[in-house]
Amino acid sequence: MIRSVVLGSGAAKPRTVVTNHDLEKKVDTSDEWIIQRTGIKQRYIAEPDETTADLGEAAAREALSDAGLTVDDIDMIILATSTPNNTFPATAVDIQERLGMSHGAAFDMQAVCSGFVFAVTTADTYIKAGQAKRILVIGAETFSRILDWEDRTTCVLFGDGAGAIVLGAEEGVGMSNDRGILTSHLRSNGSHKEKLYVDGGPSTTQTVGHLRMQGREVFKHAVAMITDVIEDAFAATGLTADDIDWFIPHQANRRIIDASAKKLKISPEKVVMTVEQHGNTSAASIPLAISVAKEDGRLKKGDLVLLEAMGGGFTWGAVLVRW
């Protein structure tokens, strides 16, 4: 059977680091509160001349180079983002143009913090259906642009950045020791909209709007939803938490990640945690964490990796992939 194998990865961060102490000067908060409640110590914030397309393009170039490929080898670009450069055209098309690619198709995918998991799953489906051989999957965000910088309950939580992977079709035997994506599971439930949303948009306010979140309410649902969809991934493959080499979750909050890992009985040394250095970068958080684990030598070919995310919508999902 056809498997979607990870051929390369890359990441890009804005130039400017903003620490918790920097934020203490802007809003009524403290380094201590932010670290204790979230684990975040700093985040990267885009300067006015750094856009989602800039960050996504840089991450894409690094992923292509890591894979030893050029855009000529790519059939499709899927960009997960909730902070596109423009309402339309899709920022993926902008990146396609910047990369010098005029064949194939590029489109954006919007599932907020779960965007990367949704985009990877979509890419896998195209590859398995034989409609594409190699797909560039990017998660890129500039959430700083939609934050209310006077709202301390949200502005301290998020950051900007991008990450990308190249997925390519390879033959597998259909067993769980195949390389590539072994299973993926997506969920959404619109009844939770008010808990995490942006209060503007083209068809309602004709403005971009600001992120609004009932943090405690999101927190309450997060662990149950995450662990539930991961249990589905385990059941579909016959794999268990013991088989996992690396758990690379969406990086929203250290307490959510710790509680999810504990409930799933995934030992702490297998958890890739980057929330401390990046904050919550929405659809970019998983590919950014992938690049950290790859650069420091943890993530190696053949490793079994569990990806997971949960975010606005609510949307949530899990992917099991052998690197």
Q: Residue 318 Cβ, how far from ligand UT7 at the closest point, in Å?
A: 15
Q: Which of 113, 155, 210, 278 is catalytic?
A: 113
CB-nearer residue toward ligand UT7: 37 or 133:
37
For binding to ligand UT7 (CB under 6 A), which residues are involved?
29, 33, 37-38, 113, 152-153, 156-157, 215-216, 218-219, 222, 252-253, 256, 280, 311
CB-nearer residue toward ligand UT7: 26 or 300:
26
CB-nearer residue toward ligand UT7: 88 or 149:
149
113 included as an active-site residue? yes
CB-nearer residue toward ligand UT7: 225 or 266:
225
280 included as an active-site residue? yes
Q: Residue 285 Cβ, how far from ligand UT7 at the closest point, in Å?
A: 8
Q: Residue 14 Cβ, how far from ligand UT7 at the closest point, in Å?
A: 19
3-state secondary structure string, the chain? CEEEEEEEEEEECCCEEEEHHHHHCCCCCCHHHHHHHHCCCEEEECCCCCCHHHHHHHHHHHHHHHHCCCHHHCCEEEEECCCCCCCCCCHHHHHHHHCCCCCCEEEEECCHHHHHHHHHHHHHHHHHCCCCCEEEEEEEEEHHHHCCCCCHHHHCCECEEEEEEEEEEEECCCCCCCCEEEEEEEEECHHHHHHEEECCCCCCCCCCCCEEECHHHHHHHHHHHHHHHHHHHHHHHCCCHHHCCEEEECCCCHHHHHHHHHHHCCCHHHECCCHHHHCECHHHHHHHHHHHHHHCCCCCCCCEEEEEEEECCCEEEEEEEEC
Q: Residue 37 Cβ, how far from ligand UT7 at the closest point, in Å?
A: 4
Q: Which of 85, 250, 253, 278 is catalytic?
A: 250
Positions marked active-site:
113, 250, 280
